[in-house]
Structure 1
Amino acid sequence: MPGPTLAHFESDLRLPDRVDVVVIGGGIIGASTALELAERGLSVLLCEKGQIGAEQSSRNWGWVRISRRDPREVPLMVESMRIWEELEARVGRKVGYRRTGIAFCAGSESYLAKLDRWRRHLAPHGIESRILRGREFDALMPGHKLRLKGALYTPLDGRAEPQWAAPAIAEAAQRLGATVMTSCAVRSLDIAAGRVAGVITEKGRVHCSAVVLAGGAWSRLFAGNAGLNLPQLKVLNTVMRTTPVDGPDTALWTDGFAFRKRADGGYTVASGDENVVDLVPDSFRLGLTFLPAYLDDWRSLRFRLSGRWRVEAAQARRWRPDEMTAFEACRILDPAPSRRALRASWAALGRAFPAFQKADVVQSWAGMIDVTPDAIPVISGIESVPGFHIATGFSGHGFGIGPAAGRLMADLVSGTAPLVDPSDFRFSRFTDGSKVRPDSGY
């Protein structure tokens, strides 16, 4: 099933012999990193095995939110909000960003109290967030039929268009001199004297002194070939889009569904409480590592045995630079959406907002979210491989935080003062005895 329609992007055609930095992966994280580095005057090659933004960066909900994040992500998201405000002027193309607010609904007083407690994480940053009840919520969501105790509402939250953002950012990097190659998989690192000396792509070797792996759901496989055990699994989320309908401008999450208005007047709609976890060999290799995360979020996870087991079991976990890789065999990860999730969320939305019964579903798709055991990303240099850096594992939060994650990664690569304290995102947290688990902030 075809995924979302992406904004046009014109690839470069000639692979450079040498650059300062190679970025692997053309999603919003990789594109933002490339733009930041190019703005600092570094020569950059961005390699994408398929098309820019074709996987999770174009398949997400399009939310740009600070509310209900893991508290460890909040300082970085504060910076990302600032970047989003000026992004269209900076890149010279539309990304669809608008500050419209997001409401997280609560059907019980106990959950509403949790949402109220979460607000304390915004207080040090002077960001408004409040609990809405009754008529206040009715005014924000006219025509709703929800039965609620209240909602957490953060006016600073907003939305952008996932199909526009990564291509626009990559094109801006290109205009500043970065080389951006699509349909060009990086097969492996080139290591000399114990540190990064370049990469080997399917189209040839490129010399460089630094590499950033921003490969999303593919990062664990690439890192494993480099001798690193990156604890990362994939979670499938299903999304649909509708024809235009007269509905709320503010995005909403509740049990059963979530939505946000699109630039075309339609809506992006998804299940508010279902994510599919395909059982694969890595599910068992990493089972104990992910156990706290499973226990923390078990109500929203649906485990299944599917064809993904066969696909991933057949993938080579180590290969030579002259061998064809899984990255070339699958240019774009385009999983089938969950029909169950589509039916359930659409029915729930129609009951809660009768106006949506006049709309039609015109497209649906699914995407693979790259998740870590503590549901926050790795944005880190790798001590055991000098010159190698990883930016991955954004656990469904990557689109909104992507521009600031790219800036922080560029700080680490270039050796400048980091945008925020990067210690929570260090790769070594998985091996240094740290307590690795999600933090809901309640």
Structure 2
Amino acid sequence: MGPQVDPVTPDSKIPPRTDVVIVGGGIIGTSTALCLAERGVAVVLCEKGHIAGEQSSRNWGWCRKARRDPREIPLIIESMRLWQGMNERVEAETGFRQAGILFAAESEADLARYEAWLEQARLYQLDTRLISGAELEQIMPGTSKRWKAALWSPTDGRAEPQKAAPAIARAARRKGAVVLTDCAVRGLETQAGRVAAAVTERGRIACSTVVLAGGAWSRRFCRDLGLRLPQLKVRASVVRTAPLGGAPETALWTSAAAFRKRLDGGYTIANGHANVAPIVPDSFRFFRDFLPAIRMDWSSFHLRLDGRFLQEWREAKPVPLDRPSPYERVRVLDPLPDSRFTREALGGLARLFPAFAEARVVQEWAGLIDVTPDIVPVISPVETLPGFLIATGFSGHGFGIGPGAGRLVADLVTGDTPVVDPTPFRFSRFTDGSRPQPTSGI
């Protein structure tokens, strides 16, 4: 069972018409809704389950600039600016704290990667740097291991995934957005080659623009529109502990484990180097797209053949818009956690920090991350379908970057000057011969 998410009281009536419909109530969808509502745009957010029911409440809660793909750095800079004032903006606690994030350099290869990343990031004048010796021991006290060095970002931080998107959704409602839960969008209607309406399970909403922020469901939604979005899913598992004294305040990543302190005094803990990739029909369709990513980091991929293959095979056939869709049959993706990886992480932390030997696990869950071939999101209009925009494929980096992504989507919808150059996130990069692939050195 997934984590307990702060509730959001939805609107009861579905409006017949609006300017913008947003599909998906995670951190990207809610951030977009808030930005648009603040600009006076009529917006309806439709979530098939509950707000932040899937990966937006199941992630680590990290908000980081360190080790970002350089293509994402301008957007995370804007996101961190927005996170700093988020509690005041939404008039609620999102859990955001600037407590710093540390990436351990456990080998010469790690050190070389971090140095290469710093060289690429130098243009943006970040405060991230390599530290070692006494300074490292002061920032990360109580460990039994001495690392060669660490990549340290003092202004990076954390927020609470179970609180943030719900708080943003409630703020969007106060600003005039309509928030609908248990309301799946089955598909779109078009007129003269452009978006005319979103068809939901509760009725039709006429609109000029639809933003797809559907996370792991986005590939399915695009396929029904005849659009090829190369996207796969990766399963990630975490545990939550009871409040724990004596453990570090700063978040840490190592190859064996990663952790960050929670607002309640407990810790969110995960394996820092394990990704389970369920084998599904799309694994074969997109094999060539994802081959560069697999070659670059093969050791992090754990392929699994499980029930998702048959489930996605059965759901592949398009469903008429007047019939129940797969989005209604599965309101919330709630995969079983991979306990072996989380147990290994806990054991590794107990060896690194004596304080974690006393950790008591109170919950464990998993989520499905939406991944693109180059590990960079799509934040883009679709040229072949005017009025349709995609904001998906955040590849496990979406929570921290969510507020900035929401602002960029709002800029693209309204025609305002984009807060950052959207070119790296264009949908057409998968068809224009660019051959997108991950950036090495991160």
* TM-score scaled by length of structure 2: 0.98
Map 1:20-419 → 2, pairs under 5 A: 20-245=19-244, 246-419=246-419
Do 1:122 and 1:128's aligned partners in 2 also have CA atoms closer than 8 Å?
Answer: no
Q: Secondary structure at the match of 2:283?
A: helix
* Matched letter for residue 88 of structure 1: N
C-alpha RMSD of matched pairs (Å): 1.0
* Matched letter for residue 139 of structure 2: L
Q: Secondary structure at the match of 1:183?
A: coil
Do 1:70 and 1:441's aligned partners in 2 also have CA atoms closer than 8 Å?
Answer: no
Q: Secondary structure at the match of 1:256?
A: coil
* Matched letter for residue 92 of structure 2: R
After TM superposition, give the deviation of residue 147 of structure 1 in Å: 4.0
Worse overlay, 123-132 or 427-436: 123-132
1:36-70 superposed Cα distances (whole Å, 9 cap, x missing partner): 11111110000000000010000000000011011
- Runs ≥4 residues deviating over 4 A: none
1:302-330 superposed Cα distances (whole Å, 9 cap, x missing partner): 00111111111111342211121110010
Do 1:69 and 1:440's aligned partners in 2 also have CA atoms closer than 8 Å?
Answer: no
After TM superposition, give the deviation of residue 441 of structure 1 in Å: 4.4
2-side partners of 1:65 and 1:163: how far apart? 18
Q: Secondary structure at the match of 1:99?
A: coil
2-side partners of 1:139 and 1:408: how far apart? 38
After TM superposition, give the deviation of residue 294 of structure 1 in Å: 1.0
2-side partners of 1:113 and 1:253: how far apart? 16
Gapped regions of structure 2 (runs ≥ 5): none
1:186-209 superposed Cα distances (whole Å, 9 cap, x missing partner): 000111111000110000000000
Do 1:74 and 1:121's aligned partners in 2 also have CA atoms closer than 8 Å?
Answer: no
2-side partners of 1:186 and 1:339: how far apart? 34
After TM superposition, give the deviation of residue 358 of structure 1 in Å: 1.1
2-side partners of 1:42 and 1:367: how far apart? 32
2-side partners of 1:19 and 1:208: how far apart? 5
Q: Secondary structure at the match of 1:269?
A: strand
Aligned residues: 441
2-side partners of 1:316 and 1:436: how far apart? 26
1-side partners of 2:204 and 2:147: how far apart? 58
2-side partners of 1:317 and 1:297: how far apart? 33
1-side partners of 2:264 and 2:368: how far apart? 25
After TM superposition, give the deviation of residue 287 of structure 1 in Å: 0.7
Do 1:127 and 1:156's aligned partners in 2 also have CA atoms closer than 8 Å?
Answer: no
After TM superposition, give the deviation of residue 350 of structure 1 in Å: 0.6
After TM superposition, give the deviation of residue 108 of structure 1 in Å: 1.1
Do 1:76 and 1:404's aligned partners in 2 also have CA atoms closer than 8 Å?
Answer: yes
Worse overlay, 120-129 or 382-391: 120-129
- Where does residue 426 of structure 1 map in the other structure? 426
Q: Secondary structure at the match of 2:196?
A: strand
After TM superposition, give the deviation of residue 117 of structure 1 in Å: 2.4
Alpha-carbon spacing, 1:80–1:224, altered in 2? closer, same or farther (3 Å): same
Do 1:72 and 1:424's aligned partners in 2 also have CA atoms closer than 8 Å?
Answer: yes
* Matched letter for residue 345 of structure 1: A
After TM superposition, give the deviation of residue 386 of structure 1 in Å: 0.4
Q: Secondary structure at the match of 2:67?
A: coil
* Matched letter for residue 192 of structure 1: Q
1-side partners of 2:128 and 2:77: how far apart? 14
* TM-score scaled by length of structure 1: 0.98
Worse overlay, 72-81 or 117-126: 117-126
2-side partners of 1:63 and 1:440: how far apart? 21
Do 1:377 and 1:395's aligned partners in 2 also have CA atoms closer than 8 Å?
Answer: yes
1:319-358 superposed Cα distances (whole Å, 9 cap, x missing partner): 2111211100100000000011111111111111111111
Worse overlay, 106-115 or 267-276: 106-115
- Where does residue 16 of structure 2 map in the other structure? 17
After TM superposition, give the deviation of residue 156 of structure 1 in Å: 1.4
After TM superposition, give the deviation of residue 137 of structure 1 in Å: 1.3
Do 1:50 and 1:184's aligned partners in 2 also have CA atoms closer than 8 Å?
Answer: yes
1:62-106 superposed Cα distances (whole Å, 9 cap, x missing partner): 000011011100011111110001111001110000111111011
1-side partners of 2:253 and 2:179: how far apart? 36
2-side partners of 1:122 and 1:114: how far apart? 12
1-side partners of 2:284 and 2:121: how far apart? 37
2-side partners of 1:176 and 1:111: how far apart? 46
Q: Secondary structure at the match of 1:366?
A: strand
Q: Secondary structure at the match of 1:98?
A: coil
1-side partners of 2:144 and 2:408: how far apart? 43
2-side partners of 1:146 and 1:117: how far apart? 24
2-side partners of 1:374 and 1:48: how far apart? 27
